[in-house]
Amino acid sequence: MSEPLYIAPGEAQKLSRYLIGEDCPEATVQHYSAAVQKLFAILTPDQQRVWDRMMRWPIYMKLIDSGLAVTYPQSPLRKRIFIMLTLLESRPEFTRYFLPQERSIWYLVPLGLHAGLSAVYLIAGAVFTKVTGISRI
């Protein structure tokens, strides 16, 4: 049997809160651990240090995730985020986050503000990951 891959304490719950703003069920935590193992989402020691920082500070997670989306989309760090995203999307109780909903025209105002803020994170994250060398680890 192979050695289990590194998973930070509370990693699945922190990713769930980052992605949808709420905790996921224990079954999803177990599925996440199994998927990380099965999909071989290995982190190098340098990536592991960055991952630990991402787990401690949500603002850092958003900045690094945004930056890696531009500078290194195939990063193992992003792979773990996408594993959790896939698991959350498959849960019936979270469909409201992933399926289209009827909304008022006024919904475009906060949506536009959120899109603008996301663009800022994308640019800042790209600069940050390049300057700090995270995109090369």
pLDDT tens for 29-56 read 999 999 998 888 788 889 999 999 999 9
Inside any domain, residue 5: no
Inside any domain, residue 4: no
Inside any domain, residue 91: yes
Inside any domain, residue 26: yes
- Over residues 57-95, the pLDDT tens digits come to 988 999 999 999 999 999 999 999 999 999 999 999 999
Rounded CA separation 118/25 (Å): 28
Inside any domain, residue 122: yes
Q: What is the mean pLDDT of the chain?
A: 91
Rounded CA separation 76/65 (Å): 11
Report DSSP state, residue 8.
-
Inside any domain, residue 83: yes
Residues ≥6 apart with Cβ < 8 Å to 121: 62, 63, 66
Confidence tier at 1 by pLDDT (50, 70, 90): very low
Inside any domain, residue 1: no
Nearest CA to 71 out of 137, 24, 5 is that of: 137
Domain membership of residue 89 as a residue range: 11-136
Inside any domain, residue 6: no
Q: Structurally, how many domains does the chain consist of?
A: 1
